[in-house]
Amino acid sequence: MSTEHRSDKPGVSRRTLLARTGAVAAALATGPVLGGIQPAQAAGAWRVPGEEAPHKRTWMAWPSSTTIWGNLLSKIQADIAKLAREIAKYEPVVMCADGSSAASQARSMCGSTVTVISSVPVSDCWMRDTGPLFRVDGAGGLDAFGLNFNAWGENATSFYGIPASAYNKDRVLAGKLATYDGVPFAKAAVVGEGGGIEYDGDGTLMATESCWVNDNRNPGKSRAQIEAELLSRFGASKMIWLPGVTGYDVTDGHIDGTARYIGPGVVMVQLAGAVRPDVWTRNAQAIHDVLVNATDARGRRLQVLTIEGPDTLPRIPAGQQKDFLSSYMNYTVTNQAVITTQFGDTAKDAAAKTAIAAAYGRPVVQLNLDNLYGNGGGGAHCVTMQEPNV
């Protein structure tokens, strides 16, 4: 789920070509791809449910920092509000805003169907990466853990020059939100982001190595150590490691813009359309090729569904199209619908909507979120975190 940094944007996109800053060249992160190491502590009853399981609510965060967003802030806020209002048609939405002034603005823009709170401070809107991951035990229990968010390996600072302190509230958001929610909380022994890992709720995880086996997040830790910790925290027993892209975007190649679990044993992969730079096209195909040969924790050969990204972005100026996150896969699942984006490519938009609706057996809503996907470089999945029903 990566785009490059817009040249007219003063250090605010989450995704960017490092060429803009003269940094290191990008490379596909390859190597052994199929895991299967048992967690250090055998997975017990606790597990993170798949996102298609029933939700109690969706958590979001209101962007209000001009240090991070500059003069793009109002456009990002408009897309966040639009998305929150749509999700609220299908399940409760709680929006965390940074103080009373931001909360008042959020309430005005989101409307009465979205609950806005000001008692959980936030730095920015990327709740998928900063918020807690909730677990259930099958007996009515709920707890949560955090992944020690460090501003995408401090890439926000090294890529764009945003002060590290601009994300201080998000570094501790997971624990504070869990406390507010009355849920027991623990910190994982690894650093990463929720957008960097996919889970089926039935024992299998998938992630790109480029996000996790990376010294900007987990220096000195081996892939086996990182895998064991993630399996233990998620209540899983098998990891499928996927090739990723290092150095082309702030996230180092989050999986949630390319491949998603539909449910146990079923994944969907977006193959790049004509507007995506070649590095992402190659990576999407490499991810697909691994998954079609993979089995999950139950020994099932994965069913791999595919869609294609847009070939045109008619609303986006030609010079900005290569920087745009043209991912239908960065959708958010709600109790009654799946909410994704549309890009103005009529044929590809319709095909993606049909395929996702058929896969989930739920209606699909497509919103115009050009500011979030373009100027923000993230999508509907990036800015939401579901809390499961127990």
Whether 51 and 117 have beta carbons less than 8 Å apart is answered as no
Whether 341 and 367 have beta carbons less than 8 Å apart is answered as yes
Q: How many CA atoms lie within 13 A of 358 on its CB side?
A: 10
Which residues have a Cβ under 8 Å from the Cβ of 57 and sit 6 or more positions away? Answer: 91, 92, 93, 94, 386, 387
CA 327 – CA 317 distance, rounded (Å): 17
**Is residue 110 annotated as part of the catalytic site, yes or no?**
no
CA 277 – CA 326 distance, rounded (Å): 11
Q: Identify each DSSP E strand in 247-369 by its residue range.
A: 259-263, 266-271, 303-308, 332-333, 338-341, 364-367
Strand 332-333 relative to strand 303-308, pairing: unpaired
Q: Would you state the structure tokens that stand for residue 331, as one six-digit string?
A: 């959708």
How far does Cα 120 stand from its chain's mean position? 21
Q: How many CA atoms lie within 13 A of 91 on its CB side?
A: 23
Q: Of these residues, 96, 125, 211, 382, which one is catalytic?
A: 382
Q: Is 239 exposed, middle or buried (0-12, 13-18, 19+ CB in 10 A)?
A: buried
CA 218 – CA 192 distance, rounded (Å): 8
Query: SS3 for 88?
Result: coil
Strand 93-96 relative to strand 55-61, pairing: parallel
Phi, psi of 54, deg, nearest 5: -60, 140
Helix spans in the chain (H): 66-69, 73-87, 100-110, 127-130, 151-160, 168-171, 173-181, 209-212, 223-234, 278-291, 346-360, 370
Position of tokens 């609510």?
57
Q: Would you state the structure tokens that stand for residue 351, as one six-digit string?
A: 């095909």
Annotated catalytic residues are: 382
